[in-house]
Amino acid sequence: MQRFADFMKKKREAMGLTQGELAEIIFGDATRQDYISRIETGKKDISLKSMDAILEALNADVEFLE
């Protein structure tokens, strides 16, 4: 999961988004920023459903696996 977390953070920053802004896009709630933070720091495992929602919000696909 750390590979995904690193990709997610790099992509989010490249898009100029804060963790709160990404949480707002995904969940409609910027206060879920803590969830994004825990994923990016490797403290939270995520489901495939959540991973798909994050990839969609980042306009990305499974390219991070390459």
The architecture (CATH level 2) of 2-65 comes to Orthogonal Bundle (1.10)
User: Of 58 and 2, which is predicted with more confidence?
Assistant: 58
pLDDT recorded at residue 22: 96
**Left if phi > 0, otherwise alpha if psi is -120 to 50, otherwise beta: which for 47?**
beta
pLDDT tens for each residue of 6-64:
999 999 999 999 999 999 999 999 999 999 999 999 999 899 999 999 999 999 987 65
DSSP letter, residue 60: -
Domain ranges of the chain: 2-65
| Angle separating helix axes 48-57 and 19-27, nearest 10 degrees | 110
pLDDT recorded at residue 2: 85
Count of CB atoms situated within 10 Å of the CB of 7? 19
| Angle separating helix axes 2-14 and 33-40, nearest 10 degrees | 120
DSSP letter, residue 42: T
